[in-house]
Chains A and B, each alone.
Chain A
Amino acid sequence: MSHMGSGERDLIVVGGGIAGMTATIYAARAALDVVMLEKEVCGGLANSSWNIENFPSYRSVPGLELMQRIRSHVESYQVAIEEVTEVTHIRVESRRTLIETPSGQYAAKAVIVATGASPIRLPIESDCGERVHYCSLCDGPAYKGRDVIVVGGGNTGFDESVSLVNLGVRSVVIVECMSMCRAEQSIQKQAFSTGRITARTESRLNAVIPHADRVLVTIEHLRSGLIDEVVADGVFVFIGQKPNTSMLEDNVGLDKAGYVIADALMHTNRPGVFAAGDVVAKRYRQLTTAMADGTIAALEAARCLRGR
């Protein structure tokens, strides 16, 4: 396997979400030789957010726009940003870490794992795959004037439901398995005030079946066991995320759910390997907490490299 770039780097940041981009900014400002690897494009899950309303300094900003602004900030430091570069394996050695990608291998004295999390797919088989979606901005416009089901009553489910209504969707039914929706009250209030969004709690979507040119959705009320059939045009799924840690295998300590275990200074159990953002085992996963993680991880990486 060929070595990429100019030999061993000081630091490689794996993941170009907000945690990785923040870490890269701090690493560049610390004069580290840093490269950031991103499997898709910079921005991570925030790229899909219709509107972000909890990022200090912006009352409301589209996720894609905010992430592009941060990416431009990273670029201003003339840092190497390698997009569409999927890391397949991170191998930790005694004094360096090897990062493998389909196009070659990178080596670095330190690495920050900021690989984030990915949406969980709908856990049912369906012959209606073309009508099951995971991004309202991408697929929502096709449902203008039509009726959709949204699976998941968290912040993302409600935010995307509002996005769908803004795109012209006629009605949205949110299906949430818990006894109450977990989204922030302000987002719920905004959604219900549209008059076009309703929610069914303690309910689970069991099947999506072809029904003429629409779909028949089977919804089970978990407490009573009653089954209801609803005809809709499409289904959008926002039921949480799972950590992107497959490239770590057994090299770094993970919790039972697969998240990276890191201490308050973002050190993992392996020297020279730090973690930041949604991939870290923690209670709160917000843009602001990811930025804090990225900041600390980069400063710690710089401190450790100077002390070598």
Chain B
Amino acid sequence: MLENITVLTAETFQSYTANRFCLVLVFRRQCPHCRVLMAVVDKCRPLCPDLAVAGVDADDSPGILASTGVTRVPTVLIYRDGGVSASRSGVMNASELLALIASSSA
């Protein structure tokens, strides 16, 4: 699961999210709900071929949490045109995640 996504750092976060339509999953390695959401993201990826997927390890990158205002994991941030267009904390099922992604273009 984790091996399937690019893990962003303070050095790469800004440039990655600046010009991409992308999903950023904020997670902790020992968080069970994060593993569930990673599996859900994996399942949804083929349905969203234009969506890039990356992760942020909350323990390794507290600065990113501070700058994005994320306090809980897992949290999903959807970026469009350099800004957060949709976000949600907590576990979601596949249909809820797809709805969140769809809402980001509304």
Docked Cα-Cα span, A121 to B71, in Å, equals: 21
Docked Cα-Cα span, A86 to B94, in Å, equals: 10
Docked Cα-Cα span, A138 to B90, in Å, equals: 9
Task: Using known A-B contacts A41-B39, A84-B40, A102-B95, determine if residue A135 contacts B28 with beta carbons closer than 8 Å.
Answer: no
Query: When the two chains form the complex, which single residue of A40, A43, A64, A139 contacts B73, counting CB atoms closer than 8 Å?
Result: A139
> Which chain A residue shows the least CB distance to B44?
A84
A44 smallest CB distance to B (angstroms): 9
Contact of B39 with A135 in the complex, beta carbons under 8 Å = no
Check if A305 is an interface residue, CB within 8 A of chain B: no
Check if A201 is an interface residue, CB within 8 A of chain B: no
Contact of A138 with B32 in the complex, beta carbons under 8 Å = yes
Contact of A137 with B72 in the complex, beta carbons under 8 Å = no
Check if B59 is an interface residue, CB within 8 A of chain A: yes
Contact of A135 with B33 in the complex, beta carbons under 8 Å = yes
A236 smallest CB distance to B (angstroms): 13
Chain A residues with Cβ under 8 A from B89's Cβ? 130
B89 smallest CB distance to A (angstroms): 8
How large, as a class, is the contact surface on chain A?
Answer: 10 to 19
Contact of A138 with B73 in the complex, beta carbons under 8 Å = yes
Contact of B35 with A47 in the complex, beta carbons under 8 Å = yes
Docked Cα-Cα span, A84 to B71, in Å, equals: 25
Check if A289 is an interface residue, CB within 8 A of chain B: no
Check if A258 is an interface residue, CB within 8 A of chain B: no
Task: Using known A-B contacts A102-B95, A138-B73, determine if residue A64 contacts B32 with beta carbons closer than 8 Å.
Answer: yes
B5 smallest CB distance to A (angstroms): 15
Chain A residues with Cβ under 8 A from B40's Cβ? 84
Contact of B32 with A141 in the complex, beta carbons under 8 Å = no
Contact of A40 with B39 in the complex, beta carbons under 8 Å = yes
| Residues of A46-74 contacting chain B, CB below 8 A | 47-48, 62-64
Task: Using known A-B contacts A138-B74, A141-B58, determine if residue A62 contacts B30 with beta carbons closer than 8 Å.
Answer: yes
Docked Cα-Cα span, A63 to B33, in Å, equals: 13
A15 smallest CB distance to B (angstroms): 14
Chain B residues with Cβ under 8 A from A41's Cβ? 32, 35-36, 39
Docked Cα-Cα span, A63 to B40, in Å, equals: 21
Check if A93 is an interface residue, CB within 8 A of chain B: no
| Residues of A116-138 contacting chain B, CB below 8 A | 130, 135, 137-138
Docked Cα-Cα span, A137 to B28, in Å, equals: 8
Check if B31 is an interface residue, CB within 8 A of chain A: yes
> Which chain A residue shows the least CB distance to B34?
A138
Task: Using known A-B contacts A84-B39, A84-B40, determine if residue A48 contacts B72 with beta carbons closer than 8 Å.
Answer: no
Check if B6 is an interface residue, CB within 8 A of chain A: no
Check if A31 is an interface residue, CB within 8 A of chain B: no
Chain A residues with Cβ under 8 A from B94's Cβ? 84, 102
> Which chain A residue shows the least CB distance to B1?
A41
B49-71 interface bits toward A, Cβ cutoff 8 Å, 1 = contact, 0 = none: 00000000011000000000001
Chain B residues with Cβ under 8 A from A63's Cβ? 32
> Which chain B residue shows the least CB distance to A133?
B72
B11 smallest CB distance to A (angstroms): 23
A146-187 interface bits toward B, Cβ cutoff 8 Å, 1 = contact, 0 = none: 000000000000000000000000000000000000000000
Ordered by A's residue number, 26 sampled pairs between the chains whose C-beta atoms are within 8 Å are A40-B36, A40-B39, A40-B91, A41-B35, A47-B32, A48-B32, A64-B30, A64-B35, A83-B43, A84-B40, A84-B42, A84-B43, A84-B93, A84-B94, A86-B93, A102-B95, A130-B72, A130-B89, A135-B33, A137-B31, A138-B31, A138-B32, A138-B72, A138-B74, A141-B58, A142-B71
**4 closest pairs, A vs B, by CB?**
A47-B32, A40-B36, A138-B31, A84-B43
Task: List 9 additional contacts besides A47-B32, A84-B93; criterion CB under 8 Å.
Answer: A41-B32, A41-B35, A41-B39, A43-B32, A84-B39, A135-B33, A138-B34, A141-B28, A142-B71
